[in-house]
Amino acid sequence: MFDWHTSKVVYQIFPDRFNIGDGKTAKQKENEGLYPLPGQRTVDWKEKPKRTGDRTQQLLFWGGDLKGITEKIDYIKSLGAEIIYLTPIFYAHTNHKYDTIDFFRIDPAFGTLQDFKELCETAHQKDLKIILDGVFNHVGFASKWFNGLNLFPEKGAYQSPNSPYRDYFYFSGDKYRSWVNSGSLPELNLDNPELQEILFTGKNSVVKYWLKQGADGWRIDCAHDIGNLNHIIVEAAKSVKPDALIIGEVWNYPKGWNEFARLDGIMNYHFRSLVIDLLKADMPVETVAKIMKDTVEDCGIDYLSKCWNMLSSHDVPRLSNLFDNERDIRLAIALQFSFPGVPMIYYGEELEMTGGEDPENRDAMRWENLSNSPERLNFYKKLTEIRKKKIALQIGSFGILYTSQPDRTIVFKRSTERIDDLLLIAFNLSFEKVQFKTYINESTLMTGTLFRDLFTGETFRTDVSNITLQVEPRSFRILEPIIERVPDRYTPYKRV
């Protein structure tokens, strides 16, 4: 089933690190009083984020904001990306903003409500969508409901058992439950009807309010923690915007989250793990091919096609730190764009940025790398162009094909009911050039049909139902059939 977002490519942005609007510096913004909370301070754009050991790195700011993103809409569009996923933008203490203070307020360091509306309007004019990060499992220690830093005159749950917000949280005496026992992120009691009304179900709930302001959907943080309550979020969102996209952060096997939680899709970290095991030879090639096949059959192609194919994000290392060379990075990206699912590019990957574990993976955007014409940038552009043109990569069925070199190669097809849409995707995981034969189970694929490599232009001819391919070491091919139907020339495809 076609869904508006299955044809798109997602571009994830960590707002503080992407771009500063109006030509300002972080220091200028600090002098304007935009970083007033305890411990907050700015650093130079070129400074590298590092772990401090006491979490104070979370209070360092590089100055990126919503205006800065709006100014770069054309750049994002030029990549072929059409969905912008923003990590949290609401008022919070840290630079990552997963510690919400006020759900109804844009963080002043990021801008104003008007800045957000202008971002949405500009994006929509360019046919781009905006997806917000909904952090509903927990809030920040400084939240107005918890008030751990005494920022608000009204007593919060942390200060008094008589606080009107006490039942928004889980308390046992003076002890409270926090996400992964961090202490800084008290978990919300989402079973509380009053809290559900504020966040989800009310006429002007958080979920509904920001969709009305121009957002096109939500990525639900910690959706695995929220569990079957996700369906309340989905129903609330679609009640005001029926085509709103709701994606869950789930670090599990994908199956079922579209059913019991009603999510449109999840961030597919299962896919990421599989790709890493394949390219690092931690799992036999044949086994990975079988897991791919089983995953698609088990989860269902329609649902899996709506999940986001992950390789890197603000939570995991960047590609340059994950793999040893650009050749393997290309293999990973090619898998990301050809396996069922919506590819998600983490900002800066196209500019070959580096970064290990958090916070190193949240470096400021290296715009100067554009002057070096990074090869990966053009590689992404080529793949987004192919994906946009090829319906089989968006919603097509998936099938693993048998090969004569199953220990070194993976070949699968993406197809629709039209033979013209058929694509063969072949990967050579060995360190030698490989020639191998693969059989194609397509009854209307005529013998003698030429297949063209969409990157190199090379052609290969079928013989009955098989084709012999050559693939360079640690490389891949994306092949399309050359099918012509012209009145004055013979073609076996005249009636198919």
Q: Which residues are catalytic?
A: 221, 249
Joined tokens for residue 371? 């002057």
8 A C-beta contact, residue 394 and residue 421: no
The span from the CA of 453 to the CA of 437, in Å, is 16
Closest residue by Cα to residue 246 from 306, 195, 295, 300? 306
Q: Are 266 and 257 in contact (CB under 8 A)?
A: yes
Q: What is the DSSP string of 359-426?
A: TGGGPPP-GGGGGG--HHHHHHHHHHHHHHH-HHHHH-EEEEE-BS-TTTEEEEEEE-SSGGG-EEEE
CA distance 170 to 172: 7
Q: Which helix (H) or strand (E) holds 476?
A: strand 475-481
Backbone angles phi, psi at 307, to 5 degrees: -75, 155
Between CA 140 and CA 183 the distance in angstroms is 9
